[in-house]
Structure 1
């Protein structure tokens, strides 16, 4: 594959299917033959400049988005996998890896999956002597990670569910922040489900009694959580015919992963119902992504707003590409998605220079950071702490940090960039993805050496690190 050629078959096919067009109809609309379109969709031929222009004009899309998205995420995941010493003699260059991810994405996914299995097997072997229970918990993580990868590689956007949720939201006139009456009324009239408050000692957020047709909701949950749980129940009852085939067509390896995915798809539908795509996207643009105003406008939590903004990937009507992650105090990434070039580490902790870690000391504030990754891409990074609701003084209150942001070229769309000196490169803090794959030589916070670089140890000189980093 020559440099500069663009193979975007998957994206073109998704765009065509989103517009419900046959290959013949789509080809006619952009002025090419059906056979050429077929070759494009199967990555047998690259798209020409004329085709890119036609796609932009006919479908109001940002051409630059076509070459990013899934390809970037897949390339990032493959690069990290191949950085393992297991492949130290392979020496694939970036162009070769692009050839694999663009021309044979399923092969790339299979290699990534095999590497994940290898890593987890090693972890299990290391921990086997501790207890058998530890091995069981790692097995559960495997299914969870598999589902997380499913959402990651579909760009965190499920078109059928999003459209159906928006249709129902319009029918119920949702989106004004006062949704409880409409949601509860719909459950009652369409599914004969009555809502009641839970018992005082019940720790469950939501408890559905299929026989008695009652939905018990925690009496201590805030309104945003309460409404989301009602929307989740609606997803189970109203959208199951859509959710079931989507989950099964993902071809998960275990029944456990299948069920976890169904929960994820139900959550997706609930979020899309409470924050309907068109209305939410318009509000986000109008309010310049002011997270607190969006939360107040739709009666949602900050986490719900950030998560929904990360799903604004509808073909022909995309929002600003953002990254979103939720991190606990130990540095574990419990939620993640990125429509930007910034991809989160799949193994190990997040970069300690990232402002998300500072959010735990800045309760109630949204903090900002201008950051640059080793590949030279710059970002506007936002972070804030959130606290999940608890059940009183004697029960723990889970605390997380939310990370959210965009590439700097989109910063003008965010109110948080108004007083920042964006052109000055000196204002950007150097951050990485994780220490194990970060190439920065002089980082004072490095936890472990980079996998693909040689180390030099000088017994007569000691800096912050007990070694210096040489060439690969």
Structure 2
């Protein structure tokens, strides 16, 4: 497969600005001409390997920061938005979308925000009787969507919060494990800890300075909830400063993001960055070994693997997703070129949906997306018992994977026939934008293609997708 050229003009320009250099000075230190630098910054030429080497040697720059991850996310999100019937035949070609994502990412995000507002207003008009009865009806993003997109475009990595959690977990001279550190932090602040049969998982009473955890919590969940509360109690200034920078549009979004940040701290304290990265590489990303070593759950480990994006010390680029039994995506993140649908469910051919059929087992899949990229995908069901008879059990499935070129670093790929093209199952992102013509599981026609309908012929589908 041919290597894709790297166009990273926006990030190159941002790097120069951050260093406080003019184009002339920057070009001189990179050993290239001023016109050449200008062409690269305007994406008229790709970033050459000699420039990448110069960035690394001259400035100690982590060249992986010039990856196309953000642009690929924007392209994927714009394609999904442009598949909306409102655009009809107006959707621009893929090449134009890539140019917009690379050269004008702010404009691309503004377009996505505009489409989201349109979509939300359309949904509200469909239930006009409810919308008219609400004084706070607006066209702003839902708080949940706003927070989800914030983490999505931060690569699900918050550097300041991650490093603070790592310092907390390390403790003085190596210190005890994170749970013991958390208990010591509670004691130092005069907060008592109790375990009771309560509704929910955790409750903190500010007046009595008492933290109550459910007596039904298992080890990983108990540790996570304890560390979450510690984040709220000990990292409030850092939390608020980070939320200020995010500039959320509503108090509800800010409140949801605060919970998300505290969750991030808890996960990072339970699985400290450098120690966890070393263990992941040593075990070749064996989820069960890592869960046992760090006292975490399989889901916590899988999610953490997808956040290892610290500049200069990045982990393997993974995608991570969690779906419910209806196929709705409840968590999603990708540091690979595979992106997930913003609306609706994931491709039904993906093995994450089959995980519910084989509880307690890992399912492996070699998958190929319409753009020709190939992945190793791992899936497993995750059950969260209610802790009592008749208490509801929440069931999810998680998916974790990476491009097949990293298969040698993944223990789950050892006996897979990665060199056999026939071993790869065709998957997509969502039916609305999938380009495959002959998919037997297609739910709706692709909105970017013309259809042919012949009443006298019937194949797998009641229509044919034209070229």
1:460 aligns with 2:451: no
TM-score, L = length of structure 1:
0.88
1:182 aligns with 2:178: no
Q: Which whole-Å CA distance do the structure 2 matches of 1:128 and 1:391 have between them? A: 41
Matches within 5 A, 1:18-97: 22-23=19-20, 31-32=29-30, 43-44=41-42, 47-57=47-57, 63=63, 66-97=66-97
**Do 1:165 and 1:273's aligned partners in 2 also have CA atoms closer than 8 Å?**
yes
**Do 1:174 and 1:182's aligned partners in 2 also have CA atoms closer than 8 Å?**
no
1:326 aligns with 2:322: yes
- Counterpart selection for 2:205 from 202, 205, 209: 209
- Kindly tell me: are residues 172 and 144 of structure 1, through their superposed partners in 2, closer, same or farther at Cα, counting changes over 3 Å? farther
Q: Which whole-Å CA distance do the structure 2 matches of 1:251 and 1:317 have between them? A: 28
Deviation (angstroms), 1:11: 7.2
- Counterpart selection for 1:314 from 294, 310, 314: 310
Q: Which whole-Å CA distance do the structure 2 matches of 1:291 and 1:180 have between them? A: 21
Report which stretch shifted further, 400-409 or 157-166: 157-166
Deviation (angstroms), 1:372: 0.4
Deviation (angstroms), 1:118: 1.4
Match of 2:103 in 1: 103
Q: Which whole-Å CA distance do the structure 2 matches of 1:168 and 1:413 have between them? A: 29
1:286 aligns with 2:282: yes
Q: Secondary structure at the match of 2:171?
A: helix
**Do 1:174 and 1:274's aligned partners in 2 also have CA atoms closer than 8 Å?**
no
Report which stretch shifted further, 324-333 or 105-114: 105-114
Structure 2 gaps of 5+ residues are: none
Q: Which whole-Å CA distance do the structure 1 matches of 2:175 and 2:365 have between them? A: 31
- Counterpart selection for 1:413 from 400, 409, 414: 409
Q: Which whole-Å CA distance do the structure 2 matches of 1:15 and 1:369 have between them? A: 42
Q: Which whole-Å CA distance do the structure 2 matches of 1:358 and 1:372 have between them? A: 17
User: For each residue in 1:53-96, what CA deviation from the matched residue of structure 2 results, as whole angstroms up to 9, or x when unmatched?
Assistant: 12345688774662322121112111221222322343422332
**Number of aligned pairs?**
457
Q: Secondary structure at the match of 1:436?
A: coil
- Counterpart selection for 1:429 from 425, 428, 435: 425
Structure 1 gaps of 5+ residues are: none
Q: Which whole-Å CA distance do the structure 2 matches of 1:62 and 1:29 have between them? A: 18
**Do 1:206 and 1:229's aligned partners in 2 also have CA atoms closer than 8 Å?**
yes
User: For each residue in 1:301-342, what CA deviation from the matched residue of structure 2 results, as whole angstroms up to 9, or x when unmatched?
Assistant: 111111111110011110000000110000110000000011
Deviation (angstroms), 1:212: 1.3
TM-score, L = length of structure 2:
0.89
- Kindly tell me: are residues 330 and 139 of structure 1, through their superposed partners in 2, closer, same or farther at Cα, counting changes over 3 Å? farther
Matches within 5 A, 1:208-247: 208-247=204-243
Q: Which whole-Å CA distance do the structure 1 matches of 2:294 and 2:27 have between them? A: 38
Report which stretch shifted further, 42-51 or 380-389: 42-51
Deviation (angstroms), 1:345: 0.6
**Do 1:127 and 1:134's aligned partners in 2 also have CA atoms closer than 8 Å?**
no
Match of 2:394 in 1: 398
Match of 2:155 in 1: 155
- Kindly tell me: are residues 297 and 424 of structure 1, through their superposed partners in 2, closer, same or farther at Cα, counting changes over 3 Å? same
Q: Which whole-Å CA distance do the structure 2 matches of 1:435 and 1:249 have between them? A: 36
Q: Which whole-Å CA distance do the structure 2 matches of 1:135 and 1:374 have between them? A: 45
1:114 aligns with 2:132: no
